[in-house]
Amino acid sequence: MCQEKFGGVDFVLTFSMRAPRRETQSIYPAEAPAAPLPAIRTESELKKLIAGKGKADTRQTASVLAKISVVMADYLEGGKPIGIVLNPIEILSAIGAAIKEAEGQPSPWPDGADARTFFIHGLYDEIIQQPSNIFETRIFPDGSERYIPIDKATWKACLQRLHEQIIASGTKLAQGKKRRG
């Protein structure tokens, strides 16, 4: 077992030489539930997973949001030296576009009408690249154990949750200012 801290998130990796089981375990940070993920039992389940038509696995939300938050914070920090600090509406628009992309719609922005638009589009690009960097282990119908990117339904649910959290935080902040002012 190996425990590491990355971006304020504890990751626990367990290495084993046991025979594969007909279930999988999450490879997400330590706060993820220990409950195993179900195996893919049929070809139709596999097709649904690939097409993003499966049900979202909300057990992974916290760990995926932690990963997205680190990526977004790193990207946004990179704008400070060039004088670009995005406001919450601009960040929400990038997340909203990523949600649309998860539904199969292309980016709504031109590639760079100006530096600010280019930077917002860059944040969108950073966000939409993450599903290929977040893996889970699944057992396939042939019995093999494979790493696959997070499924589309779970990814979309995580983006929607992030969008909701930012709005809720902004609302809470505004209410606090209203009471003090």
Any idea where the domains of the chain sit in the sequence? 2-180
Query: Model confidence at 114, in pLDDT bands (50, 70, 90)?
Result: confident
Please state whether beta strands 37-38 and 23-24 pair in parallel, antiparallel, or not at all (unpaired): antiparallel
Mean pLDDT lowest for which of 8-17, 61-70, 93-102, 109-118?
8-17
Tokens of 143: 């019995």
Of 62-66, 108-112, 124-128, 171-175, the one with minimum mean pLDDT is 108-112
Contact 87, 116 (CB under 8 A): no
Q: Tell me phi and psi for residue 108, to 5 degrees.
A: -85, -5
Other beta carbons within 10 angstroms of residue 133's beta carbon come to 10
The model's confidence at residue 35, banded by pLDDT at 50, 70 and 90, is low
What is the model's pLDDT at position 172? 82
CA distances from 160 to 29, 31, 90, 116, 127 (A): 20, 20, 16, 24, 13
**Cα–Cα distance measured from residue 61 to residue 27, given in angstroms and rounded to the nearest whole number:** 13
Distance of CA 75 to the CA centre of its chain: 15
Mean pLDDT of the chain: 76
Amino acid at 145: E
CB 75 within 8 A of CB 126: yes
Q: Taking the CA atoms of 169, 112, 65 and 36 in sequence, report the sign of the dihedral they define.
A: positive
Closest by CA position to 20, among listed 136, 103, 143? 143
- Of 39, 55, 52, 13, nearest to 142 by C-alpha is 39
Tokens standing for residue 97: 């576009």
Residue identified by tokens 């992309």 is 101
Is the pLDDT score of 19 beyond 90?
Answer: no
Which region among 10-24, 29-43, 118-132, 148-162 has the lowest average model confidence (pLDDT)? Answer: 10-24
